[in-house]
Amino acid sequence: MPVTVEEVRALARSLPRTEEALVRDRVRFRVRGLVYVSFSRDETLMGFAFPKEEREALVASEPDKFLMPETSDLRYNWVRAQLAALDAEEMRELVIDAWRMVAPKRVAAEHLNR
Give the pLDDT score at 94.
Answer: 97
Give the pLDDT score at 113.
Answer: 76
Domains of the chain in sequence order? 5-107 (3.90.1150.30)
Q: Give the three-state DSSP class for 54.
A: helix
Phi, psi for residue 81 in degrees, rounded to 5: -135, 150
pLDDT tens digit sequence for 20-69: 999 888 999 999 999 999 999 999 999 999 999 999 999 999 999 999 99
Q: Give the three-state DSSP class for 102.
A: helix
Give the pLDDT score at 112.
Answer: 74
Q: What percent of the chain has pLDDT over 90?
A: 84
